[in-house]
Amino acid sequence: MPIDKKPLREFINKPVVTKEGKRLGVVKDITFETRTGELIQLLLKEQTPYTKSLNLETNTNKETVLPYHSIIAVADFVVVSEEDLI
């Protein structure tokens, strides 16, 4: 299910939760394809102990990354599907 195009500022500093309501952290930054503008992944900050227990993918700076395809909705929170993370 594609997410409508949103400005970068609408993602930064938003809390990230699973659809079950478990808090994962806060959006620090996003990674996108420069040619197309396609969002690739979100970088997290302020990860919770629950997030750390999931052993999610990290980048070379040891930052937790969430794949774009795991995003279900963006409103007051960025909601992700935990099944698509692991």
User: What is d(CA 66, CA 54) in angstroms, rounded to the nearest whole number?
Assistant: 12
User: Residue 61: what pLDDT?
Assistant: 85
Fill in the amino acid letter for 65: V
Confidence (pTM): 0.82
Determine whether domain 8-84 maps to CATH 2.30.30.240.
yes
User: Residue 1: what pLDDT?
Assistant: 43
User: Cα-flanking dihedrals φ and ψ of residue 36, to 5°?
Assistant: -105, -20
Tell me the pairing of strands 15-18 and 78-80. parallel
Fill in the amino acid letter for 42: L
User: What is d(CA 29, CA 50) in angstroms, rounded to the nearest whole number?
Assistant: 20
> pLDDT tens digits for 1-48?
445 555 667 789 999 999 999 999 999 998 888 888 777 899 999 999
User: Residue 6: what pLDDT?
Assistant: 58
